[in-house]
């Protein structure tokens, strides 16, 4: 009896792969493995739970206890199309730590564990990914990342109509596909998504788009505050005072980003980015200094403004996405 682990993302492709593996190896030990960002659409969980039940397969869910927004706060970094550590830290590192080193994350949940044919499901396992022929550029990196495991991507060489497989199990596809999203990740809020993706988010889920704008604003204020404090010359501030300011910012924002209050308790917003209707100003002399060499991301607020001013200038084919399990660099995620 061999071990097979399907990286179960909540999308249609990974479900098709799970069906393929079960059909091919009905007597082997098969596990659905879901790494949860805890920022997903409620319907994603409906889909993976029903999928596990109808496939009659066990499913293991792992999570760190942080969602991407909380991770951005902890790292004091606004993720964007060029930087997306949420994929590396909340998904890739979690999976690698467990499968390669036996290290479990903070959160572990099982479904249908009684269907596991052997508790030793990692030894000699073959790993499966829902990568199709249209994503072959991801194949090389995934195989490299998961050595010494054998890696299979059945959909590269075999075309399968996902909706036919769903119909076989009488399983309704995740609602984000009905809303014209290209994937079912992070409830359409993927930080690496493109202009077309966020245009669709604004049209399909305007309330979520507005909420994301607000969260980005407050996160940027928090991050910029850290940057300004970090840029103060040592001769202008002692280390204890610097640490005190860092802690004050943490205290002011932590409850908001961890969902314990509806509005952040603003403390040190940079004057250049503060929003008058949301921010109580506390201005310090160092806030007026420019910080050279700090790249500025393309914020949702700028995109929203450009969308309203001239929609024709947007790239309607720029969907993008995180490409989870592709850019796994061990040094960058330790």
Give mean pLDDT, residues 178-200. Answer: 90
Strand partners, 63: 107
How many degrees, rounded to 5, is the angle at CA 165 between CA 155 and CA 13? 40
Nearest-angstrom CA–CA distance, 262 and 281: 19
Nearest-angstrom CA–CA distance, 258 and 253: 9
Residue 282 above 50 pLDDT? no
Please name the residue that has the structure tokens 């993720």.
Answer: 79
pLDDT of 226-253, one tens digit each? 887 887 888 888 899 889 889 988 988 8
pLDDT of 27-73, one tens digit each? 999 999 999 999 999 999 999 999 999 999 999 999 999 999 999 99
* Three-state SS at 143: helix
Nearest-angstrom CA–CA distance, 158 and 18: 14
Residue 136, C-beta contacts closer than 8 angstroms, at least 6 positions apart: 156
CB 153 within 8 A of CB 143: no
Strand partners, 308: none
pLDDT of amino acid 52: 98
CATH fold label, 3-186: Rossmann fold (3.40.50)
pLDDT of amino acid 229: 83
pLDDT of amino acid 96: 96
CA distances from 250 to 76, 210, 223 (A): 10, 24, 10
Residue 164 above 80 pLDDT? yes
pLDDT of amino acid 241: 87
Residue 220 above 90 pLDDT? no
Nearest-angstrom CA–CA distance, 89 and 236: 36
pLDDT of amino acid 334: 39
CB 28 within 8 A of CB 56: no
Q: Residue 12 phi/psi, 5° resolution?
A: -70, -35
Nearest-angstrom CA–CA distance, 46 and 174: 8
Q: Are strands 150-152 and 59-63 parallel, antiparallel or unpaired?
A: unpaired
Within 13 Å, how many C-alpha atoms sit on residue 242's CB side? Answer: 15
Domain spans in the chain, listed from the N-terminal domain onward: 3-186, 204-313
pLDDT of 4-34, one tens digit each? 999 999 999 999 999 999 999 999 999 999 9
Q: What is the DSSP string of 90-127?
A: IIIHHHHHHHHH----SEEEEESGGG-S-S--STTPEE
Mean pLDDT of all residues in the chain? 85
At 138, the pLDDT band (50, 70, 90 cuts) reads: confident
pLDDT of amino acid 319: 65
pLDDT of amino acid 115: 98
């Amino acid at each position: 009896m061999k071990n097979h682990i399907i990286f179960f993302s909540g999308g249609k492709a990974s479900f098709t792969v799970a069906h393929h593996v079960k059909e091919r190896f009905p007597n082997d030990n098969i596990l659905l493995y879901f790494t949860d960002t805890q920022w997903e659409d409620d319907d994603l969980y409906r889909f993976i739970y029903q999928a596990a039940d109808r496939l009659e397969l066990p499913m293991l869910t792992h999570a760190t206890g942080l969602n991407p927004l909380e991770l951005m706060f902890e790292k004091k970094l606004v993720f964007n199309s060029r930087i997306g550590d949420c994929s590396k830290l909340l998904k890739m590192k979690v999976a690698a730590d467990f499968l390669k080193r036996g290290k479990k994350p903070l959160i572990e949940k099982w479904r249908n564990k009684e269907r596991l044919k052997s508790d030793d499901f990692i030894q000699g396992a073959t790993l499966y990914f829902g990568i199709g022929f249209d994503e072959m550029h991801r194949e090389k990196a995934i195989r490299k990342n998961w050595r010494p495991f054998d890696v299979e991507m059945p959909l590269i060489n075999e075309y399968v109509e996902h909706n036919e497989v769903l119909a076989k199990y009488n399983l309704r596809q995740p609602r984000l596909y009905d809303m014209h999203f290209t994937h079912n990740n992070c409830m359409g809020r993927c930080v690496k998504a493109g202009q077309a993706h966020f245009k669709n988010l604004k049209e399909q889920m305007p309330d979520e788009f507005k909420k994301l704008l607000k969260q980005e604003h407050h996160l940027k204020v928090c991050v910029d505050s850290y940057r300004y404090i970090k840029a103060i010359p040592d001769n202008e501030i002692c280390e204890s005072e610097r640490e005190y300011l860092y802690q004050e910012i943490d205290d002011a924002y932590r409850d908001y980003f961890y969902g314990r209050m509806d509005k952040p308790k603003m403390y040190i917003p940079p004057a250049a980015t503060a929003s008058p209707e949301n921010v109580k100003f506390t201005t310090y002399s160092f806030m007026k200094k420019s910080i050279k060499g700090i790249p500025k991301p393309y914020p949702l607020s700028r995109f929203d403004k450009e969308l309203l001013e001239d929609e024709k200038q947007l790239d309607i084919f720029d969907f993008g996405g995180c490409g989870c399990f592709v850019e796994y660099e061990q040094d960058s995620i330790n």
